[in-house]
Structure 1
Amino acid sequence: MSEQYEDEEETRGRVLSNGQVMAFIGGYWLRRPWLLLGSAGLMLVAVGFDILMPTAAKTLIDAVADPARDTNAAWKAWALFVGVYVAFVVTRNIAFRFWNPLAARNMEEMTNEGFRRVQAFSSDWHADTFAGATVRRISRAMWGYDSVSDAVVLWLGPALLVLFGLSAQMAFKWPLIGGLSLAVVVGFLVLNLWVVKVYVRQANLKSNALDSRIGGALADAITSNPTVKAFGAETREETRFAGITGAWSRAVQITWGRFMDVWVMQNVLMVLLQAGMTGLLVNLWVKGQATAGDIGFAITTFMLMSGYLRNIGENVRMLQKGLDDVEDVANYALMAPQVADAPDAIPLAAAEGEIVFDHVSFRYKSAEAPLYDGFSLRIAPGEKVALVGATGAGKSTFVKLIQRLYDLQGGAIAIDGQDIAQVTQGSLRRAIAVVPQDPALFHRTIAENIGYARPGATLDEIRLAAKRAHADGFIEKLPKGYDTLVGERGVKLSGGERQRVAIARAFLADAPILVFDEATSSLDVETELHVQAAMNELMAGRTTIVIAHRLSTIRNADRILVFDKGRIVEEGRHAELKAKGGAYARLAAVAEGTA
C-alpha cells in the first residue's frame, strides 16, 4: 500500500461494531417517530394476517375434504383464505406509504450531514484523503442506510415474528413438530448472525475498502488527465487502475464465496425443516391423528417459513453489507473536526485589517521540528507586505495560519485585536480574499464562479469585478459569455484566464485583507501590467499580503519580508534590501538573470 493510501486509512477513523453503526442509523429513525410507528405498526398487522394463512389453508382443505360436501362451509373457508391474503397485501402496501417518505428524508439528511462533516474537516485531512474515495463512501452510505432499514424493519422483524408465531402454533398442537421448527429457526438465526459476522464481515470490509480505492484512483487519474496526456501515459494509468480493480475482483470473489458457503448451510437447515415437519405429520396421518387439512397446514406453513427463512438469509447478508457501507459516515459523525470553532466563538469584526503574530509556534504533523518557533510580527492596517524566500521557507504557511486552516501549538494570531481562534472560521475566511497561484474553479458558469465571492451579487456587479480584473475581454468573446461553463476545476480556461477570474472574485469579495499568492505568474507581460494596475487599485486602503517569486510584482510594496526556515531574516523596501547585498539581493540577482 502506498503512503497516500496509508495516510487515507488513518483518516477513516476506527472500525465500529455493528451495534454502534445500528445506533447511528437508529438515530435517524427516531427523527420521525410517527412515520416509524405508522410503518412498524402496519407491518405488525400484516404479520398477523400472514400467520393466519396456514390456518386459513387448513380450514379450506378440511372443508373441501369433508365427505358431507358442505358447499356453504367450503365457500366461507375460501373467502377466509382469500380475504386473509388480501388483507395482508393491502396492509403491507399502506405500511410502505409511511415507510417510503421516512427512508427518503433520512437518506437525504444522512448524505447532507456526511457532506457537512467532511467539509468541516481540516486541510490536512483532505490532503491525506482521496476525494473520489470520500465521494464513494458518502454515496454508498446512503444506500447502505436503505439496505439496513429495509432489512431490519421490513423483512427481518416481520420474518422473526412470523417464524416464531408459526412455531408456537405448531408447538401448541404438536409439541415435537413445533420444537423441530423452533430449533431450525434458532439455528438459522445463529448461523446467519454469528457466521456472517466472524466469517464474512472481514472479507466484506476489505472489498469495501478496495471499492473506495477504485473511486479514489478514478478521480485521481481523471482530474489529472491533462498530465496523463502530456506524458502519453494512458496505458500506464490503465495498468495501474487495472491493478486496483484486479485486487477488488479477487477480494470480492472471496466475499461472495463466503456468502455462498453460508447459503449452503442455510439450505441444509431448510431441507431438515421440510423433511422433518412433513414427515412427522405424514406419520401422524398414518396413525389417524392428523387430517388432510393438517397436512395442508404443514405444507403451507413450510412454504411460508421457507420464504421467510430465505429472506432472512438474504437480508442478513444485505444487513451486514449495509452496515459496512454506512460505517465510514458513522465514523465521520464521531470524529471531531481537526480545526473547530470555540464553543463561544463570535463572528470576526474586521474593518482595518491589522494582523499580529504573537510568539506563534507551529509544526506540521509530519515534520520533526516546528516551522515557526516563537514567531512575532505586526502588519499595520492598509500595509502592503510582500513575502519572499525559497520554497519551504514558510510563506504559504503564513497565509494558511491567518486563515486558520491549521491550529497553532503556541502563541496567538489576532486580526484587529481579535484572537482568530476565538472567532468563527467562516467569518474569518470571508474577511480574507485569496487569489492562489493555481485557482481551482467550479464546473459552473463564469458568472457563478466570480459571484461565489458574494452570494446575491448582481450580474452588473459581477461584470464590473471582471472588468476591473481585465477579464471581461476574453469572457465576452466566449460563445455564451458569462454563462460559459468552465469545466471541472476550470480546465476549459487557460491558466491566465483562470487567474483573472480568481482576481475578479477577489474584487467582488471586497474583503479588508487581500492575499495574492503568485497571482500574476501565468500572465503574459502585457496582461500582467493591466492586472497589476487593477491589483494596485484593489489594494488601496486594504491590508495586502503578496507572495511572489517574480520580484517585479513587489517593487512598490511598503515592506518586503524575506523568509528562511520560518524566520524573517531581512525586511525593508526593495531598493534598500537590494543595496544591503544580503539574501534579498541574491534572490533579485537570480530573478534578473533569468528575466
Structure 2
Amino acid sequence: MSDLFDDEDEAGGRKRVLSNGQVLGFVTRFWTRRPVLFGLGVGLTLLAVAFDLALPYASGHLIDTVVEKPRGDPSAWSALWMFVGVYFAFAVVRNISHRFWIPLAARNMEEMTNEGFARVQAFSSDWHADSFAGATVRKLTRAMWGYDAVTDAVTIWLGPGIIVLIGLSTMMLFRQPLAGVVSLVVVAAYLGANLIITERYVRPSNLRSNALDSKIGGALADAVTSNPTVKSFGAEARETARIAAVTAQWRDAVMVTWNRFTDVWLGQNLLLVVLQAGLTGSMVWGWSQGTATPGDVAFAITAFMLMSGYLRNLGENIRMLQKGLDDAEDVAAWERLPPQIADAPDAPAFRIGPGAIAFEDVTFRYKAAGAPLYDSFSLTIAPGERVALVGPTGSGKSTFVKLIQRLHDLQGGRVVIDGQDVAAVTQGSLRRAIAVVPQDPALFHRTLSENIAYGKPDATREEIEAAAAKAHAHDFILKLPNGYDTLVGERGVKLSGGERQRVAIARAFLADAPILVLDEATSSLDVETEADVQLAAEALMAGRTTIVIAHRLSTVRGADRILVFQKGRVVEEGRHAELKARGGVYARLNAVSEGVG
C-alpha cells in the first residue's frame, strides 16, 4: 500500500518525485540509443518544416501574379503549380519522416517496458511487499505510452511548430513590421502561458489522477487474485462496492484534471482571436496605406491559417507532453532508485559446494522494527545435515532462510555458504543453489511442464517427467486432459494443495540444488496427501543440506538436529527424543502439538 500513498501530500495531491526536465532527460536517453533513426526522423521533419514555411510565400506569389499579370498569362499557372507543389512536397516528406519515427518509438517503448520490468524484478522483497502488483503493472504500461506521447509532442509537433511560428513571424517582419511584431508577441505569450499554466495549474491534478489510476490497478488485482476468498464469503457485492469507491475517487480527480485542460484550451483560443485580428488587420491597414500588396494580405491569411493550426497543436501537445511526462515519471524515478540489495562490484557467481552453512556474529533488524531480531547470532550447519527449525511465530525461523538467500542485508556479521560470503557473490547464482518448497507454492499460469522446469528451463521432457515421478506427481498429471501441457491457472488455482506441493517438489528435484528448504511443506494437507508429499520430500532431502521449518513437530522427528528459536536466539538444540526428555521449550511445544493432533 505504501507504494501508492507515500507520494501523496496532506491535501490529497501527489508530491512531485522528479521534475519535468528529469523525466524528459530519461526519455531523451532512449532517443540517443538509435542515432541514425533519430537523425533521419529529425532531418526529414525539418525538411517538411521548410516546405511548410514556403507555403505562405507561394500563396502570396500566386495572388500577386494573378493581380499583376494580364489574364491568360502562363506565369499564373507556374505560380499555381509552385503553390500546389510546395504543399505536396510537405505532405510526402512528412509522411516519409514517420517511417523512421515508427520503428524508433516501437523499439524504445519495448526496451523501456523490458528495462522497467527488470528494474522492478531487482527490487527487494520489502519493496514488493510494500507495493501492489496491479499498481506496478499499471505504472509500467502507462510509462510506455507516456514515452510515445512525449516523443510525438516534442519531435513531431512542438519542435517543428516552434520553428514554423518563429519563421513565419520573422518573414512577416520583413513584409509588414507591425504584423511581425504582433505575431511574435502573441506566439511568445501563447507558449509562455501554456508552459507555465500547464506546469503549475494542470500538472498537480494530473499527478493526483495518475496516483488514483495506479490505485485502481492495485485494487482490481487484489480483488481478482483473491477471488476464491471473495466467493467463499459471498462478498462479490462488497468487493464491487469497494472498487466503485476507488473509481469514484479517480472520477472526481480526473474531472478536475480535464476541466483544467479545458480552461487552458479557452485561453489558447482567445489568444488565437488576437493573432487573427492582429495579422489580418495590420496587413489590411498596410494595404490601405499602400505599403502592402494583395499578395501580402494573402501571405498573412495563409500564415494565420498555418499558425493557428500549429498553435492549436502546440496547446494540445503541451498538454500531451505534460501528461506523457507524468505517465513516465514513476518508471523514470525507478531508474534513479538504487537497488535495495545490490550485488558487489564484479561479484563472482556462487560456486556450488557440498552445502555447509555458517552464521558468523550476524546482527539483523527489519526496517520497521526497533530492536534487532538477531544480535551477534552464530550457527553452523554441516554439509548434508538435516536441520529442523521450530519455535513460535516471529521467533526468527523464516528470517533464517531469507538471510541464507540474501533477501535482506545484514547490519553486522556475515552469512557464509561453502566458504563464500553470500553478500560477495551474485544474488541470482546464490539463489539458484537453494531450492525452496514453500507452504503454499505459487505456480505460474503456464503449463505443468513449464512450472516444473522453472529451475532448469532447458530441461528435456524426459527430465521433467523423471522429476515429477520422484515427486509422486507423474500419475496425477497423466490423468489431466492435457497432461504435462495443462495450464494450471493463476498461482496454480486449478490444482489441489497437495498437487501444487508435489509440483513444487518436482521443480526442486529438477533444480538439483545442494541446499533444500522445506517451509511448512505439509502443514495444510490432509493425512493421506501429507503422506504422499512426505514420501516425495524424503526422497528429495537425500544427500542435500536440508532446512525444515515446521509448526507440526511430527514432521521433524527424523531431523539430525532440531533448533528451537525464541526471539532470534536458539534456546535449545538436539534430536527429538533428547529434547523431549529435557522437558524444556521443545517438550512444551511437542505436548501442545500432540494435544492438537
Same topology, TM > 0.5: yes
**Deviation by residue 1:331-386 (Cα, 9 ceiling, x = unmatched):** 01101100010003111112210000001111111111111111100000000000
Match of 1:39 in 2: 41
Whole-Å separation in 2 of the counterparts to 1:491 and 1:539: 27
Whole-Å separation in 2 of the counterparts to 1:508 and 1:136: 34
Equivalent in 408, 413, 416 of residue 414 of structure 1: 416
Equivalent in 355, 359, 364 of residue 353 of structure 1: 355
Preserved CA contact (<8 Å) 2:24 2:325:
yes
Preserved CA contact (<8 Å) 1:360 1:410:
yes
Whole-Å separation in 2 of the counterparts to 1:421 and 1:178: 67
Match of 2:449 in 1: 447
Match of 2:92 in 1: 90
Preserved CA contact (<8 Å) 2:488 2:495:
yes
**Deviation by residue 1:26-82 (Cα, 9 ceiling, x = unmatched):** 111111111111110111111000001011111122222336114311110111011
Structure 1 letter corresponding to 2:83: F
Preserved CA contact (<8 Å) 1:360 1:373:
yes
1:469 aligns with 2:479: no
**Deviation by residue 1:557-587 (Cα, 9 ceiling, x = unmatched):** 0000011111111110001111111111111
1:541 aligns with 2:543: yes
Preserved CA contact (<8 Å) 1:147 1:322:
yes
Taking a change above 3 Å as real, the CA distance of residues 300 and 587 of structure 1, as seen in their structure-2 partners, is same
Structure 2 letter corresponding to 1:466: A
Preserved CA contact (<8 Å) 1:13 1:332:
no
Match of 2:157 in 1: 155
**Deviation by residue 1:285-338 (Cα, 9 ceiling, x = unmatched):** 223333322221111110000000000000000000000011100001101100
1:27 aligns with 2:29: yes
1:421-436 alignment runs, 5 A limit:
421-436=423-438
Whole-Å separation in 1 of the counterparts to 2:7 and 2:228: 25
In structure 1, list runs of 5 or more residues that go unmatched: none
Equivalent in 270, 286, 293 of residue 284 of structure 1: 286
Taking a change above 3 Å as real, the CA distance of residues 291 and 8 of structure 1, as seen in their structure-2 partners, is closer
| Residue 415 (structure 1) shift | 0.2
Whole-Å separation in 1 of the counterparts to 2:142 and 2:397: 40
Task: Between 245-254 and 60-69, report the one with greater CA deviation.
Answer: 60-69
Structure 1 letter corresponding to 2:144: M
Preserved CA contact (<8 Å) 1:171 1:179:
yes
**Deviation by residue 1:205-252 (Cα, 9 ceiling, x = unmatched):** 001100010000000111011111111111111111111111111111
Whole-Å separation in 2 of the counterparts to 1:85 and 1:583: 89
1:72-471 alignment runs, 5 A limit:
72-471=74-473
**Deviation by residue 1:384-426 (Cα, 9 ceiling, x = unmatched):** 0000111111111110110000000111000001000000000
Whole-Å separation in 1 of the counterparts to 2:497 and 2:596: 21
Taking a change above 3 Å as real, the CA distance of residues 381 and 465 of structure 1, as seen in their structure-2 partners, is same
| Residue 3 (structure 1) shift | 6.2
Alignment root-mean-square deviation, CA: 1.5
1:63 aligns with 2:65: yes
Match of 2:526 in 1: 524
Taking a change above 3 Å as real, the CA distance of residues 13 and 361 of structure 1, as seen in their structure-2 partners, is farther
Taking a change above 3 Å as real, the CA distance of residues 13 and 360 of structure 1, as seen in their structure-2 partners, is farther
Taking a change above 3 Å as real, the CA distance of residues 5 and 209 of structure 1, as seen in their structure-2 partners, is closer
> Normalising by the residue count of structure 2, what TM-score does the alignment of the two structures yield?
0.97
Taking a change above 3 Å as real, the CA distance of residues 320 and 128 of structure 1, as seen in their structure-2 partners, is same
Preserved CA contact (<8 Å) 1:63 1:73:
yes
Match of 1:51 in 2: 53
| Residue 13 (structure 1) shift | 10
Whole-Å separation in 2 of the counterparts to 1:313 and 1:8: 29
Structure 2 letter corresponding to 1:282: V
Preserved CA contact (<8 Å) 1:8 1:130:
no
Q: Secondary structure at the match of 2:379?
A: strand
Structure 2 letter corresponding to 1:366: A
Whole-Å separation in 1 of the counterparts to 2:224 and 2:583: 47
| Residue 477 (structure 1) shift | 0.9
Whole-Å separation in 2 of the counterparts to 1:9 and 1:424: 36
Whole-Å separation in 2 of the counterparts to 1:5 and 1:22: 23
Whole-Å separation in 1 of the counterparts to 2:501 and 2:321: 49
Structure 2 letter corresponding to 1:591: S
Whole-Å separation in 1 of the counterparts to 2:69 and 2:396: 99
Match of 2:574 in 1: 572
Whole-Å separation in 2 of the counterparts to 1:238 and 1:155: 42
In structure 2, list runs of 5 or more residues that go unmatched: none
Preserved CA contact (<8 Å) 2:392 2:565:
yes
Preserved CA contact (<8 Å) 2:176 2:286:
no
Preserved CA contact (<8 Å) 2:354 2:418:
yes
Whole-Å separation in 1 of the counterparts to 2:305 and 2:149: 25
Preserved CA contact (<8 Å) 1:167 1:182:
yes
Structure 1 letter corresponding to 2:115: E
Task: Between 217-226 and 547-556, report the one with greater CA deviation.
Answer: 547-556
Q: Secondary structure at the match of 1:489?
A: helix
Preserved CA contact (<8 Å) 2:175 2:292:
no
Taking a change above 3 Å as real, the CA distance of residues 579 and 488 of structure 1, as seen in their structure-2 partners, is same
Taking a change above 3 Å as real, the CA distance of residues 4 and 564 of structure 1, as seen in their structure-2 partners, is farther
| Residue 99 (structure 1) shift | 1.2
Q: Secondary structure at the match of 1:412?
A: strand
Taking a change above 3 Å as real, the CA distance of residues 429 and 13 of structure 1, as seen in their structure-2 partners, is farther
> Normalising by the residue count of structure 1, what TM-score does the alignment of the two structures yield?
0.98
How many percent identity over aligned positions? 68
Whole-Å separation in 1 of the counterparts to 2:399 and 2:582: 27
